[in-house]
Structure 1
Amino acid sequence: MSKVCEMCGKGPVVVNSVVRRGKARAAGGVGRKVTGVTKTRQVPNLQPLTVTRGGISLRVRVCTKCRRSLI
């Protein structure tokens, strides 16, 4: 099963999760330091939806944004 919306083509994206420690300079500290960078994967919220096209019922997987625009 593909993690892609069948209407708009929205798919998974890879982002960095950045972990920092320390106190900010503006708050009187020496500055925030990056202690770890981990790649994470964000997938779209896909929901099944039954759509009628030409008298035939099709079950499609669409993201919630497309689902709201259809209903």
Structure 2
Amino acid sequence: MSRECDFCGKSTITGNSVPRKGKSKKQGGNGEHVVRRTGRTFKPNLFKVRALVEGRREQVRVCAKCMKAGKVVKA
């Protein structure tokens, strides 16, 4: 079972975690500096929902954005 929205196809993507060190210039420092970059994953906000799909009641995985947009008809 993949971690993917059944309506829009949104799934896990990769990116970087970028920790910074130092005091920002706005706060009177010399500026923030990047310390390191490590890989991380961004996961979609999925819910298991019973919805009407083609007239049948099914359990589907839906992201919060699709639920708020009204793409899902709950059963």
TM-score by length of 1: 0.78
Answer yes or no: is 1:13 the counterpart of 2:13: yes
| Mapping for residues 1-71 of structure 1, pairs under 5 Å | 1-25=1-25, 27-68=27-68, 69=70, 70=72
Larger radius of gyration: 1
> What displacement does 1:51 show?
1.7
Which structure has the highest strand share of the two? Answer: 1
Aligned length: 71
Identity %: 38
For residues 32 and 26 of structure 1, the distance between their equivalents in structure 2, rounded to whole angstroms, comes to: 10
Q: Which stretches in structure 2 are left out of the alignment for 5+ residues?
A: none
Unaligned runs of 5+ in 1: none
Aligned alpha-carbon RMSD (Å)? 1.9
Q: Deviations over 1:17-69 (max 9, x none)?
A: 11111234455544322111111101101111112234421111010111222
- Once residues 40 and 7 of structure 1 are traced to their aligned partners in structure 2, the CA distance between those partners, rounded to angstroms, is 25
Segments of 4+ moved more than 4 angstroms:
25-28
Relative to structure 1, the CA distance from residue 28 to residue 51 in structure 2 (aligned partners, 3 Å threshold; closer, same or farther) is closer
